[in-house]
Chains A and B, each alone.
Chain A
Amino acid sequence: EAGVVQSPRYKIIEKKQPVAFWCNPISGHNTLYWYRQNLGQGPELLIRYENEEAVDDSQLPKDRFSAERLKGVDSTLKIQPAELGDSAVYLCASSLRSAGGDEQYFGPGTRLTVT
Chain B
Amino acid sequence: AQKVTQAQTEISVVEKEDVTLDCVYETRDTTYYLFWYKQPPSGELVFLIRRNSFDEQNEISGRYSWNFQKSTSSFNFTITASQVVDSAVYFCALGAVTGRRALTFGSGTRLQVQP
B35 smallest CB distance to A (angstroms): 8
Chain A interface bracket (under 10, 10 to 19, 20 to 34, 35 or more): 20 to 34
Please, which residue of chain B has its CB at the minimum distance from the CB of A46?
Answer: B102
A14 at the interface (CB under 8 A from B): no
B66 at the interface (CB under 8 A from A): no
Please, which residue of chain A has its CB at the minimum distance from the CB of B108?
Answer: A42
A5 smallest CB distance to B (angstroms): 11
B27 smallest CB distance to A (angstroms): 11
Is A108's CB under 8 angstroms from B108's CB?
no
Is A106's CB under 8 angstroms from B102's CB?
no
Q: Give the chain A neighbours of B45 by CB distance below 8 A.
A: 43, 91, 93, 106
Q: Flag the segment in A15-23, A64-72, A94-102 that touches B.
A: A94-102
**Which of B4, B42, B103, B107 counts the most chain A CB atoms within 10 A?**
B103
Is A56's CB under 8 angstroms from B100's CB?
yes
Q: Flag the segment in B14-22, B67-75, B77-85, B88-96 that touches A.
A: B88-96
Chain B interface bracket (under 10, 10 to 19, 20 to 34, 35 or more): 20 to 34
Is B103's CB under 8 angstroms from A106's CB?
no
A101 to B37, CA, bound (A): 14
Is B106's CB under 8 angstroms from A108's CB?
no
Is A56's CB under 8 angstroms from B44's CB?
no
Is A98's CB under 8 angstroms from B43's CB?
no
Is A43's CB under 8 angstroms from B33's CB?
no
Is A45's CB under 8 angstroms from B102's CB?
yes
Q: Give the chain A neighbours of B44 by CB distance below 8 A.
A: 3, 106-109
A64 to B100, CA, bound (A): 22
Known pairs A42-B105, A111-B43; A103 contacts B50 (CB<8 A): yes
Q: Give the chain A neighbours of B91 by CB distance below 8 A.
A: 42-43
* Chain B residues in the interface with A (C-beta under 8 A): 4, 32-33, 35, 37, 42-47, 50, 52, 91, 93, 95-98, 100-103, 105-108
* Chain A residues in the interface with B (C-beta under 8 A): 3, 33, 40-45, 48, 56, 58, 89, 91, 93, 98-101, 103-109, 111
Please list 7 pairs of residues, one from A and one from B, whose beta carbons are closer than 8 Å in the complex, sorted by A's number: A33-B102, A48-B100, A58-B100, A100-B33, A100-B98, A101-B97, A108-B43
